[in-house]
Chains A and B, each alone.
Chain A
Amino acid sequence: MRPVWLLALVSAAVLAEQPTPQRQQELIDLLKHDCGSCHGLPPKGGLGPSLMPEALANKTDAFLLEVIQKGKAGSAMPPWQQFLSLEETAWLVQQLRQEGWK
Protein backbone atom coordinates (compact mmCIF):
# COMPACT_ATOMS: atom_id res chain seq x y z
CA MET A 1 0.00 0.00 0.00
CA ARG A 2 1.74 3.15 -1.14
CA PRO A 3 0.63 6.25 0.70
CA VAL A 4 0.36 8.42 -2.39
CA TRP A 5 -2.70 10.19 -1.06
CA LEU A 6 -0.70 11.13 2.00
CA LEU A 7 2.08 12.60 -0.08
CA ALA A 8 -0.37 14.96 -1.70
CA LEU A 9 -1.79 15.92 1.67
CA VAL A 10 1.64 16.41 3.19
CA SER A 11 2.77 18.92 0.62
CA ALA A 12 -0.44 20.78 1.30
CA ALA A 13 0.03 20.42 5.04
CA VAL A 14 3.54 21.80 5.07
CA LEU A 15 2.29 24.85 3.24
CA ALA A 16 -0.61 25.20 5.61
CA GLU A 17 -0.33 27.27 8.74
CA GLN A 18 1.82 26.03 11.60
CA PRO A 19 0.41 25.01 14.98
CA THR A 20 -0.09 27.90 17.43
CA PRO A 21 2.84 28.56 19.79
CA GLN A 22 0.90 27.00 22.66
CA ARG A 23 0.12 23.90 20.62
CA GLN A 24 3.76 23.72 19.49
CA GLN A 25 4.81 23.55 23.13
CA GLU A 26 2.29 20.77 23.77
CA LEU A 27 3.63 18.88 20.77
CA ILE A 28 7.22 19.24 21.95
CA ASP A 29 6.21 18.00 25.40
CA LEU A 30 4.49 15.05 23.77
CA LEU A 31 7.65 14.34 21.78
CA LYS A 32 9.88 14.55 24.83
CA HIS A 33 7.78 12.57 27.22
CA ASP A 34 5.29 10.34 25.46
CA CYS A 35 7.28 9.53 22.32
CA GLY A 36 10.35 9.66 24.56
CA SER A 37 9.15 6.82 26.76
CA CYS A 38 9.98 4.42 23.91
CA HIS A 39 12.32 6.46 21.69
CA GLY A 40 14.44 8.18 24.36
CA LEU A 41 15.24 11.78 25.25
CA PRO A 42 16.98 12.87 23.03
CA PRO A 43 15.31 10.26 20.84
CA LYS A 44 18.34 8.08 20.24
CA GLY A 45 16.17 5.00 20.50
CA GLY A 46 14.92 2.57 23.11
CA LEU A 47 12.26 0.01 22.51
CA GLY A 48 11.50 2.10 19.42
CA PRO A 49 14.17 3.11 16.91
CA SER A 50 16.25 6.30 16.94
CA LEU A 51 14.48 9.45 15.71
CA MET A 52 17.65 11.50 15.44
CA PRO A 53 18.10 13.45 12.17
CA GLU A 54 20.74 11.04 10.86
CA ALA A 55 18.47 8.07 11.54
CA LEU A 56 15.59 9.73 9.68
CA ALA A 57 17.70 10.97 6.77
CA ASN A 58 16.82 8.09 4.48
CA LYS A 59 13.13 8.05 5.44
CA THR A 60 10.65 10.09 3.42
CA ASP A 61 8.19 12.49 5.03
CA ALA A 62 5.38 10.39 3.61
CA PHE A 63 6.68 7.26 5.32
CA LEU A 64 7.12 9.01 8.68
CA LEU A 65 3.66 10.56 8.47
CA GLU A 66 2.13 7.22 7.67
CA VAL A 67 3.85 5.49 10.60
CA ILE A 68 3.02 8.23 13.12
CA GLN A 69 -0.58 8.52 11.96
CA LYS A 70 -1.37 4.84 11.49
CA GLY A 71 1.19 3.03 13.64
CA LYS A 72 3.25 0.09 12.50
CA ALA A 73 1.84 -3.41 12.54
CA GLY A 74 4.05 -6.02 14.19
CA SER A 75 5.83 -3.38 16.26
CA ALA A 76 4.93 -1.48 19.43
CA MET A 77 4.27 1.76 17.50
CA PRO A 78 0.62 2.80 18.01
CA PRO A 79 -1.42 5.06 15.71
CA TRP A 80 -1.47 8.72 16.79
CA GLN A 81 -4.07 10.03 14.33
CA GLN A 82 -6.64 10.41 17.09
CA PHE A 83 -4.38 12.93 18.82
CA LEU A 84 -2.38 14.54 16.01
CA SER A 85 -3.70 16.20 12.87
CA LEU A 86 -1.77 15.75 9.64
CA GLU A 87 -0.47 19.30 9.94
CA GLU A 88 0.72 18.70 13.47
CA THR A 89 2.38 15.44 12.45
CA ALA A 90 4.14 17.15 9.55
CA TRP A 91 5.33 19.87 11.93
CA LEU A 92 6.68 17.25 14.35
CA VAL A 93 8.53 15.49 11.54
CA GLN A 94 10.11 18.83 10.60
CA GLN A 95 11.21 19.37 14.19
CA LEU A 96 12.74 15.92 14.40
CA ARG A 97 14.68 16.48 11.20
CA GLN A 98 16.00 19.82 12.40
CA GLU A 99 16.66 18.78 15.98
CA GLY A 100 15.97 22.37 16.91
CA TRP A 101 13.21 21.50 19.35
CA LYS A 102 15.30 20.51 22.36
Chain B
Amino acid sequence: MKSLISVLPLVFSLLLSACGQMELRATGDLGVVIEREAGSAQIVNTSKPAMLSRIEGLGDLSHASVVFSRDQRYAYVFGRDGGLTKIDLLRDEIVKRVVQAGNSIGGAISQDGKIIAVSNYTPGGVKLFDADTLEQLAEIPAVYGEDNQLSKVVGLVDAPGQRFVCSLFEGNEIWLIDAKNPRQPQVQKFQSIGKQPYDALLTPDGHYYLAGLFGEKGLALLDLWQPELGVKHILQDYGKDDEQTPVYKMPHLEGWTVAGDWLLVPAVGRHEVLVIDKRDWSLAKRIPVAGQPVFVMSRPDGRQVWVNFAFPDNQNVQVIDVKDFSVVKTLQPGKAVMHMEFTPRGEAVWLAVRDEDRVMLYDTETLSETARLPAQKPSGIFFSNRANQLGL
Protein backbone atom coordinates (compact mmCIF):
# COMPACT_ATOMS: atom_id res chain seq x y z
CA MET B 1 0.00 0.00 0.00
CA LYS B 2 2.73 2.35 0.92
CA SER B 3 4.52 1.79 -2.37
CA LEU B 4 1.33 2.55 -4.33
CA ILE B 5 0.87 5.87 -2.57
CA SER B 6 4.44 6.78 -3.30
CA VAL B 7 4.03 6.27 -7.06
CA LEU B 8 0.69 8.12 -7.34
CA PRO B 9 2.22 11.59 -7.73
CA LEU B 10 4.28 10.22 -10.59
CA VAL B 11 1.16 8.82 -12.29
CA PHE B 12 -0.63 12.16 -11.91
CA SER B 13 2.23 14.12 -13.31
CA LEU B 14 2.42 11.78 -16.30
CA LEU B 15 -1.30 12.23 -16.90
CA LEU B 16 -0.97 15.99 -16.63
CA SER B 17 1.85 16.19 -19.11
CA ALA B 18 -0.10 13.99 -21.53
CA CYS B 19 -3.03 16.41 -21.30
CA GLY B 20 -0.70 19.34 -21.78
CA GLN B 21 0.48 17.95 -25.08
CA MET B 22 -3.04 17.46 -26.39
CA GLU B 23 -4.10 20.69 -28.01
CA LEU B 24 -7.68 21.59 -27.28
CA ARG B 25 -9.63 22.66 -30.33
CA ALA B 26 -12.62 24.99 -30.03
CA THR B 27 -15.19 24.33 -32.72
CA GLY B 28 -16.19 27.98 -33.14
CA ASP B 29 -12.84 28.51 -34.82
CA LEU B 30 -13.29 25.81 -37.41
CA GLY B 31 -14.27 25.58 -41.01
CA VAL B 32 -14.29 23.16 -43.93
CA VAL B 33 -12.75 23.74 -47.36
CA ILE B 34 -14.02 21.45 -50.11
CA GLU B 35 -11.41 20.15 -52.57
CA ARG B 36 -13.56 19.19 -55.53
CA GLU B 37 -11.23 17.17 -57.74
CA ALA B 38 -9.71 14.98 -55.03
CA GLY B 39 -13.00 14.48 -53.22
CA SER B 40 -11.45 15.65 -49.97
CA ALA B 41 -12.08 18.36 -47.41
CA GLN B 42 -9.71 20.37 -45.26
CA ILE B 43 -10.58 21.23 -41.70
CA VAL B 44 -9.25 24.74 -41.13
CA ASN B 45 -8.83 27.16 -38.27
CA THR B 46 -10.44 30.47 -39.14
CA SER B 47 -8.94 32.60 -36.35
CA LYS B 48 -5.36 31.50 -36.93
CA PRO B 49 -5.63 30.69 -40.63
CA ALA B 50 -4.21 27.23 -41.19
CA MET B 51 -5.11 23.79 -42.37
CA LEU B 52 -5.52 21.40 -39.43
CA SER B 53 -6.21 18.20 -41.31
CA ARG B 54 -7.50 16.71 -44.54
CA ILE B 55 -10.39 14.24 -44.71
CA GLU B 56 -10.34 12.02 -47.78
CA GLY B 57 -12.76 9.62 -49.39
CA LEU B 58 -15.77 11.92 -49.64
CA GLY B 59 -16.68 10.84 -53.19
CA ASP B 60 -17.67 13.17 -56.03
CA LEU B 61 -17.50 16.71 -54.71
CA SER B 62 -17.94 18.42 -58.08
CA HIS B 63 -20.89 20.11 -56.43
CA ALA B 64 -20.78 20.00 -52.66
CA SER B 65 -22.15 21.83 -49.68
CA VAL B 66 -21.84 21.59 -45.93
CA VAL B 67 -24.02 22.15 -42.87
CA PHE B 68 -22.94 21.99 -39.24
CA SER B 69 -24.43 20.33 -36.19
CA ARG B 70 -25.58 22.89 -33.69
CA ASP B 71 -22.81 22.01 -31.25
CA GLN B 72 -20.50 22.74 -34.21
CA ARG B 73 -18.63 19.51 -33.63
CA TYR B 74 -19.81 17.78 -36.78
CA ALA B 75 -19.89 18.81 -40.43
CA TYR B 76 -22.27 17.10 -42.83
CA VAL B 77 -20.95 17.08 -46.39
CA PHE B 78 -23.39 16.64 -49.28
CA GLY B 79 -21.66 15.33 -52.41
CA ARG B 80 -22.79 15.12 -56.00
CA ASP B 81 -22.82 11.31 -55.97
CA GLY B 82 -25.50 11.18 -53.29
CA GLY B 83 -22.90 10.79 -50.55
CA LEU B 84 -23.81 12.18 -47.13
CA THR B 85 -20.78 12.20 -44.85
CA LYS B 86 -20.65 13.16 -41.19
CA ILE B 87 -17.22 14.44 -40.16
CA ASP B 88 -16.00 14.86 -36.59
CA LEU B 89 -14.16 18.20 -36.58
CA LEU B 90 -12.45 17.40 -33.28
CA ARG B 91 -11.14 13.96 -34.13
CA ASP B 92 -10.47 14.61 -37.83
CA GLU B 93 -12.37 11.56 -38.92
CA ILE B 94 -15.42 10.37 -40.78
CA VAL B 95 -18.03 9.25 -38.27
CA LYS B 96 -20.46 7.86 -40.79
CA ARG B 97 -20.99 7.96 -44.53
CA VAL B 98 -24.01 6.85 -46.54
CA VAL B 99 -24.60 7.02 -50.27
CA GLN B 100 -28.28 7.87 -50.14
CA ALA B 101 -29.07 8.67 -53.79
CA GLY B 102 -27.59 8.52 -57.27
CA ASN B 103 -27.19 12.24 -57.72
CA SER B 104 -27.52 14.94 -55.11
CA ILE B 105 -27.28 18.71 -54.91
CA GLY B 106 -27.39 19.89 -51.31
CA GLY B 107 -28.89 19.67 -47.88
CA ALA B 108 -30.05 21.34 -44.72
CA ILE B 109 -30.24 20.75 -40.97
CA SER B 110 -33.46 21.16 -39.01
CA GLN B 111 -34.17 23.91 -36.50
CA ASP B 112 -33.58 21.53 -33.58
CA GLY B 113 -30.47 20.07 -35.20
CA LYS B 114 -31.85 16.54 -35.13
CA ILE B 115 -32.75 15.99 -38.78
CA ILE B 116 -30.60 16.21 -41.91
CA ALA B 117 -32.50 16.77 -45.15
CA VAL B 118 -30.93 16.10 -48.56
CA SER B 119 -32.19 17.31 -51.93
CA ASN B 120 -31.64 14.86 -54.74
CA TYR B 121 -31.60 14.99 -58.54
CA THR B 122 -31.71 11.21 -59.01
CA PRO B 123 -34.10 9.95 -57.86
CA GLY B 124 -35.64 13.41 -57.62
CA GLY B 125 -36.81 14.12 -54.11
CA VAL B 126 -35.91 14.87 -50.51
CA LYS B 127 -34.75 12.40 -47.89
CA LEU B 128 -34.67 12.93 -44.15
CA PHE B 129 -32.03 11.40 -41.90
CA ASP B 130 -31.36 11.19 -38.18
CA ALA B 131 -28.50 13.64 -37.57
CA ASP B 132 -26.90 11.31 -35.00
CA THR B 133 -26.95 8.02 -36.83
CA LEU B 134 -27.74 9.00 -40.46
CA GLU B 135 -30.56 6.48 -40.33
CA GLN B 136 -33.10 7.30 -43.04
CA LEU B 137 -36.34 8.59 -41.53
CA ALA B 138 -38.39 9.45 -44.60
CA GLU B 139 -38.27 9.69 -48.37
CA ILE B 140 -40.30 12.33 -50.18
CA PRO B 141 -40.29 11.73 -53.96
CA ALA B 142 -40.61 14.98 -55.94
CA VAL B 143 -43.57 13.81 -57.96
CA TYR B 144 -45.24 16.33 -60.25
CA GLY B 145 -47.62 16.54 -63.19
CA GLU B 146 -50.28 14.15 -64.37
CA ASP B 147 -47.88 11.37 -65.31
CA ASN B 148 -46.09 11.46 -61.94
CA GLN B 149 -42.66 12.43 -63.19
CA LEU B 150 -39.83 13.00 -60.73
CA SER B 151 -38.27 16.45 -60.60
CA LYS B 152 -34.78 17.49 -59.58
CA VAL B 153 -34.97 19.23 -56.22
CA VAL B 154 -33.08 22.48 -55.60
CA GLY B 155 -32.96 25.28 -53.05
CA LEU B 156 -33.53 23.15 -49.96
CA VAL B 157 -33.37 25.17 -46.71
CA ASP B 158 -34.47 24.75 -43.13
CA ALA B 159 -37.21 27.04 -41.83
CA PRO B 160 -38.57 27.83 -38.37
CA GLY B 161 -41.18 25.43 -37.02
CA GLN B 162 -39.12 22.34 -37.77
CA ARG B 163 -39.83 22.77 -41.47
CA PHE B 164 -37.90 22.54 -44.71
CA VAL B 165 -38.59 24.34 -47.97
CA CYS B 166 -37.45 23.25 -51.42
CA SER B 167 -38.15 23.84 -55.12
CA LEU B 168 -38.75 21.47 -58.03
CA PHE B 169 -36.62 22.43 -61.06
CA GLU B 170 -38.75 20.69 -63.72
CA GLY B 171 -41.91 20.60 -61.62
CA ASN B 172 -42.10 24.39 -61.19
CA GLU B 173 -43.27 23.94 -57.61
CA ILE B 174 -42.26 24.99 -54.11
CA TRP B 175 -42.78 22.48 -51.32
CA LEU B 176 -43.12 23.34 -47.66
CA ILE B 177 -42.24 20.25 -45.62
CA ASP B 178 -43.34 19.99 -42.00
CA ALA B 179 -40.98 17.53 -40.30
CA LYS B 180 -42.29 17.71 -36.74
CA ASN B 181 -42.88 14.02 -37.16
CA PRO B 182 -39.83 13.21 -39.28
CA ARG B 183 -40.99 9.71 -40.11
CA GLN B 184 -44.22 11.09 -41.54
CA PRO B 185 -43.49 14.53 -42.93
CA GLN B 186 -46.40 16.63 -44.20
CA VAL B 187 -45.93 18.40 -47.52
CA GLN B 188 -47.74 21.53 -48.63
CA LYS B 189 -47.28 22.09 -52.37
CA PHE B 190 -47.33 25.37 -54.26
CA GLN B 191 -47.74 24.79 -57.99
CA SER B 192 -46.94 26.85 -61.10
CA ILE B 193 -44.60 29.11 -59.17
CA GLY B 194 -42.60 30.02 -62.32
CA LYS B 195 -40.42 28.17 -64.78
CA GLN B 196 -37.34 26.25 -63.65
CA PRO B 197 -36.50 27.42 -60.13
CA TYR B 198 -32.71 26.88 -59.95
CA ASP B 199 -31.86 27.77 -56.35
CA ALA B 200 -33.40 29.55 -53.40
CA LEU B 201 -32.64 31.45 -50.24
CA LEU B 202 -34.24 31.97 -46.88
CA THR B 203 -34.05 35.50 -45.50
CA PRO B 204 -31.90 35.46 -42.35
CA ASP B 205 -34.97 36.02 -40.15
CA GLY B 206 -36.63 32.93 -41.60
CA HIS B 207 -39.56 34.99 -42.86
CA TYR B 208 -39.32 34.68 -46.65
CA TYR B 209 -38.29 31.94 -49.07
CA LEU B 210 -37.21 33.15 -52.50
CA ALA B 211 -36.55 30.89 -55.45
CA GLY B 212 -34.66 32.26 -58.46
CA LEU B 213 -36.11 31.31 -61.85
CA PHE B 214 -34.04 30.18 -64.81
CA GLY B 215 -36.84 29.58 -67.32
CA GLU B 216 -38.36 33.02 -66.99
CA LYS B 217 -37.68 36.38 -65.42
CA GLY B 218 -37.89 37.08 -61.73
CA LEU B 219 -38.18 35.19 -58.48
CA ALA B 220 -40.86 33.21 -56.69
CA LEU B 221 -41.60 34.53 -53.20
CA LEU B 222 -43.21 32.58 -50.36
CA ASP B 223 -44.08 34.38 -47.11
CA LEU B 224 -43.55 31.71 -44.46
CA TRP B 225 -45.54 33.74 -41.95
CA GLN B 226 -48.54 33.54 -44.26
CA PRO B 227 -48.08 30.57 -46.57
CA GLU B 228 -51.85 30.55 -47.17
CA LEU B 229 -51.34 33.63 -49.35
CA GLY B 230 -49.48 31.45 -51.85
CA VAL B 231 -46.41 32.16 -53.95
CA LYS B 232 -45.96 35.56 -55.53
CA HIS B 233 -43.94 36.10 -58.72
CA ILE B 234 -41.75 39.18 -58.33
CA LEU B 235 -39.54 41.08 -60.79
CA GLN B 236 -41.47 39.41 -63.57
CA ASP B 237 -40.64 42.03 -66.16
CA TYR B 238 -37.15 43.19 -65.35
CA GLY B 239 -34.98 43.60 -68.42
CA LYS B 240 -37.24 41.42 -70.53
CA ASP B 241 -36.39 43.35 -73.68
CA ASP B 242 -32.66 43.34 -72.98
CA GLU B 243 -30.26 41.07 -74.76
CA GLN B 244 -29.54 37.86 -72.84
CA THR B 245 -25.98 36.61 -72.33
CA PRO B 246 -25.21 32.89 -72.04
CA VAL B 247 -24.97 31.51 -68.48
CA TYR B 248 -21.86 29.32 -68.13
CA LYS B 249 -22.54 28.51 -64.50
CA MET B 250 -25.82 28.57 -62.61
CA PRO B 251 -25.99 31.38 -60.09
CA HIS B 252 -26.42 30.46 -56.43
CA LEU B 253 -28.68 32.16 -53.96
CA GLU B 254 -27.24 30.49 -50.89
CA GLY B 255 -25.70 32.94 -48.52
CA TRP B 256 -26.91 36.02 -46.82
CA THR B 257 -27.72 38.55 -49.44
CA VAL B 258 -30.03 40.63 -47.31
CA ALA B 259 -28.58 43.95 -46.31
CA GLY B 260 -31.03 46.09 -44.37
CA ASP B 261 -34.14 46.73 -46.49
CA TRP B 262 -32.28 45.50 -49.55
CA LEU B 263 -32.03 42.10 -51.04
CA LEU B 264 -29.25 41.64 -53.58
CA VAL B 265 -29.47 38.76 -56.03
CA PRO B 266 -27.70 37.71 -59.21
CA ALA B 267 -29.48 38.49 -62.47
CA VAL B 268 -29.75 35.50 -64.80
CA GLY B 269 -28.38 36.03 -68.31
CA ARG B 270 -27.37 39.61 -67.55
CA HIS B 271 -24.13 40.94 -66.09
CA GLU B 272 -25.98 42.63 -63.26
CA VAL B 273 -26.73 42.38 -59.57
CA LEU B 274 -30.34 43.19 -58.82
CA VAL B 275 -31.31 45.22 -55.78
CA ILE B 276 -34.79 44.43 -54.49
CA ASP B 277 -36.59 46.66 -52.02
CA LYS B 278 -37.78 44.18 -49.41
CA ARG B 279 -40.60 46.48 -48.28
CA ASP B 280 -42.61 46.12 -51.50
CA TRP B 281 -40.54 43.61 -53.51
CA SER B 282 -39.90 46.09 -56.30
CA LEU B 283 -36.70 46.34 -58.31
CA ALA B 284 -34.77 49.26 -56.83
CA LYS B 285 -31.62 49.12 -58.94
CA ARG B 286 -29.61 47.10 -61.41
CA ILE B 287 -25.88 47.24 -60.71
CA PRO B 288 -23.66 46.50 -63.75
CA VAL B 289 -20.93 44.02 -62.81
CA ALA B 290 -18.01 42.19 -64.44
CA GLY B 291 -19.86 39.05 -65.57
CA GLN B 292 -22.69 36.64 -64.81
CA PRO B 293 -22.80 36.73 -61.00
CA VAL B 294 -22.71 33.36 -59.20
CA PHE B 295 -22.57 34.19 -55.49
CA VAL B 296 -23.78 37.57 -54.23
CA MET B 297 -22.89 37.52 -50.56
CA SER B 298 -23.38 40.12 -47.93
CA ARG B 299 -20.75 40.77 -45.27
CA PRO B 300 -22.35 39.92 -41.91
CA ASP B 301 -22.93 43.61 -41.10
CA GLY B 302 -24.59 44.17 -44.47
CA ARG B 303 -22.37 47.09 -45.46
CA GLN B 304 -20.60 45.27 -48.30
CA VAL B 305 -21.67 42.71 -50.83
CA TRP B 306 -19.06 40.53 -52.53
CA VAL B 307 -19.73 39.03 -55.94
CA ASN B 308 -17.98 36.28 -57.89
CA PHE B 309 -18.65 35.28 -61.47
CA ALA B 310 -19.28 32.48 -63.94
CA PHE B 311 -16.81 31.40 -66.63
CA PRO B 312 -15.20 33.23 -68.48
CA ASP B 313 -15.11 36.09 -65.97
CA ASN B 314 -14.38 34.03 -62.89
CA GLN B 315 -10.96 35.55 -62.25
CA ASN B 316 -12.74 38.61 -60.85
CA VAL B 317 -14.36 39.42 -57.56
CA GLN B 318 -16.22 42.68 -57.10
CA VAL B 319 -17.10 44.50 -53.92
CA ILE B 320 -20.28 46.55 -53.77
CA ASP B 321 -20.72 49.26 -51.15
CA VAL B 322 -24.33 48.99 -50.02
CA LYS B 323 -24.31 52.65 -48.93
CA ASP B 324 -24.69 53.77 -52.54
CA PHE B 325 -24.66 50.47 -54.48
CA SER B 326 -21.41 51.35 -56.22
CA VAL B 327 -18.75 48.83 -57.18
CA VAL B 328 -15.86 50.04 -55.04
CA LYS B 329 -13.28 47.44 -56.00
CA THR B 330 -12.56 44.81 -58.60
CA LEU B 331 -10.13 42.22 -57.31
CA GLN B 332 -8.31 39.64 -59.39
CA PRO B 333 -7.32 36.96 -56.90
CA GLY B 334 -6.50 34.39 -59.58
CA LYS B 335 -8.11 32.01 -62.03
CA ALA B 336 -11.54 30.62 -61.15
CA VAL B 337 -12.78 32.08 -57.88
CA MET B 338 -15.48 29.57 -56.91
CA HIS B 339 -16.78 30.62 -53.51
CA MET B 340 -16.46 33.12 -50.68
CA GLU B 341 -17.01 32.84 -46.95
CA PHE B 342 -16.91 35.63 -44.37
CA THR B 343 -15.57 35.17 -40.87
CA PRO B 344 -18.40 35.31 -38.32
CA ARG B 345 -18.23 39.09 -37.82
CA GLY B 346 -16.91 39.83 -41.27
CA GLU B 347 -13.46 41.36 -40.76
CA ALA B 348 -12.09 38.89 -43.27
CA VAL B 349 -13.29 36.90 -46.24
CA TRP B 350 -11.86 33.65 -47.57
CA LEU B 351 -11.89 32.99 -51.33
CA ALA B 352 -11.60 29.58 -52.98
CA VAL B 353 -9.40 30.09 -56.05
CA ARG B 354 -9.77 26.77 -57.81
CA ASP B 355 -7.32 26.90 -60.70
CA GLU B 356 -4.53 28.40 -58.56
CA ASP B 357 -4.90 25.66 -55.93
CA ARG B 358 -5.19 28.14 -53.10
CA VAL B 359 -7.48 29.81 -50.63
CA MET B 360 -6.92 33.54 -50.27
CA LEU B 361 -7.81 35.73 -47.33
CA TYR B 362 -8.74 39.38 -47.67
CA ASP B 363 -9.21 42.11 -45.12
CA THR B 364 -12.69 43.44 -45.88
CA GLU B 365 -11.83 46.98 -44.81
CA THR B 366 -8.59 47.52 -46.70
CA LEU B 367 -9.66 45.06 -49.45
CA SER B 368 -6.12 43.74 -49.53
CA GLU B 369 -4.83 40.21 -49.33
CA THR B 370 -3.64 39.10 -45.90
CA ALA B 371 -2.79 35.43 -46.36
CA ARG B 372 -3.00 32.46 -48.67
CA LEU B 373 -3.28 28.77 -47.91
CA PRO B 374 -2.61 25.87 -50.25
CA ALA B 375 -5.62 23.75 -51.22
CA GLN B 376 -6.22 21.30 -54.06
CA LYS B 377 -8.80 22.75 -56.48
CA PRO B 378 -10.81 24.37 -53.69
CA SER B 379 -14.43 25.00 -54.56
CA GLY B 380 -16.38 25.71 -51.37
CA ILE B 381 -15.64 27.21 -47.95
CA PHE B 382 -17.95 26.74 -44.98
CA PHE B 383 -17.36 28.07 -41.45
CA SER B 384 -18.87 26.53 -38.34
CA ASN B 385 -20.82 29.65 -37.38
CA ARG B 386 -23.30 28.56 -40.06
CA ALA B 387 -24.51 26.16 -37.35
CA ASN B 388 -26.44 29.02 -35.79
CA GLN B 389 -27.90 30.60 -38.91
CA LEU B 390 -31.32 29.89 -40.34
CA GLY B 391 -31.31 28.68 -43.91
CA LEU B 392 -27.59 27.81 -44.01
B36 to A34, Cβ gap below 8 A? no
- For A29, A34, A76, the residue with the greatest tally of chain B CB atoms inside 10 Å of its CB is A76
Provide the residues of chain A in CB contact with B102, threshold 8 Å: 44
A97 interface residue per 8 A CB criterion: no
A83 to B62, Cβ gap below 8 A? no
A33 to B63, Cβ gap below 8 A? no
A46, A76, A83: the one contacting B80 at CB < 8 Å is A46
Provide the residues of chain A in CB contact with B312, threshold 8 Å: 83
A37 to B249, Cβ gap below 8 A? yes
A33 to B80, Cβ gap below 8 A? no
The CA-CA distance from A42 to B169 in the complex, in Å, is 22
Interface positions, chain A 43-102, Cβ under 8 Å from B, are: 44-47, 71, 76, 78-79, 83
A59, chain B: closest CB distance, angstroms: 19
B286 interface residue per 8 A CB criterion: no
B80 to A40, Cβ gap below 8 A? yes
B75, chain A: closest CB distance, angstroms: 21
A37 to B121, Cβ gap below 8 A? no
A41 interface residue per 8 A CB criterion: yes
Provide the residues of chain A in CB contact with B105, threshold 8 Å: 46-47
Query: Contacts A32-B37, A33-B377 given: A44-B246 contact, CB under 8 Å?
Result: no
Query: Contacts A46-B121, A47-B121, A83-B312 given: A41-B60 contact, CB under 8 Å?
Result: yes
B169 to A47, Cβ gap below 8 A? yes
A55, chain B: closest CB distance, angstroms: 12
Q: How many residues of A contact B (CB 8 A)?
A: 19
Chain A residue at minimum C-beta to C-beta distance from B268: A76
Provide the residues of chain B in CB contact with A41, threshold 8 Å: 36-37, 60, 62, 80
Interface positions, chain B 306-333, Cβ under 8 Å from A, are: 311-312
B176 interface residue per 8 A CB criterion: no
Provide the residues of chain A in CB contact with B355, threshold 8 Å: 29, 33
The CA-CA distance from A46 to B248 in the complex, in Å, is 14
The CA-CA distance from A33 to B311 in the complex, in Å, is 10
Interface positions, chain B 196-254, Cβ under 8 Å from A, are: 198, 214, 246-250
The CA-CA distance from A34 to B246 in the complex, in Å, is 14
Provide the residues of chain B in CB contact with A29, threshold 8 Å: 355
Chain B residue at minimum C-beta to C-beta distance from A43: B62
A37, A46, A71, A83: the one contacting B103 at CB < 8 Å is A46
Provide the residues of chain B in CB contact with A40, threshold 8 Å: 60, 62-63, 80-81, 103
Provide the residues of chain B in CB contact with A33, threshold 8 Å: 36-37, 336, 354-355, 377
Query: Contacts A33-B336, A45-B103, A45-B122 given: A78-B250 contact, CB under 8 Å?
Result: no
B391, chain A: closest CB distance, angstroms: 21
The CA-CA distance from A76 to B197 in the complex, in Å, is 12
Provide the residues of chain A in CB contact with B246, threshold 8 Å: 71, 78-79
B70 interface residue per 8 A CB criterion: no
B152 interface residue per 8 A CB criterion: yes
B214, chain A: closest CB distance, angstroms: 6
Known interface pairs A37-B249, A40-B63, A83-B312; 19 further A-B residue pairs with C-beta atoms within 8 A, sorted by A's residue number = A33-B36, A33-B354, A33-B355, A37-B62, A38-B249, A38-B250, A40-B60, A41-B37, A41-B80, A42-B60, A45-B121, A47-B105, A47-B121, A47-B152, A47-B169, A47-B198, A76-B198, A78-B247, A78-B248
25 contacts between A and B (CB under 8 A): A29-B355, A33-B37, A34-B249, A34-B311, A36-B62, A37-B250, A40-B60, A40-B62, A40-B63, A40-B80, A41-B37, A41-B60, A44-B60, A46-B62, A46-B80, A46-B103, A46-B105, A47-B105, A47-B169, A47-B198, A76-B198, A76-B214, A76-B247, A78-B246, A78-B248
**Contact surface of A with B, Cβ cutoff 8 Å:** 29, 32-34, 36-38, 40-42, 44-47, 71, 76, 78-79, 83
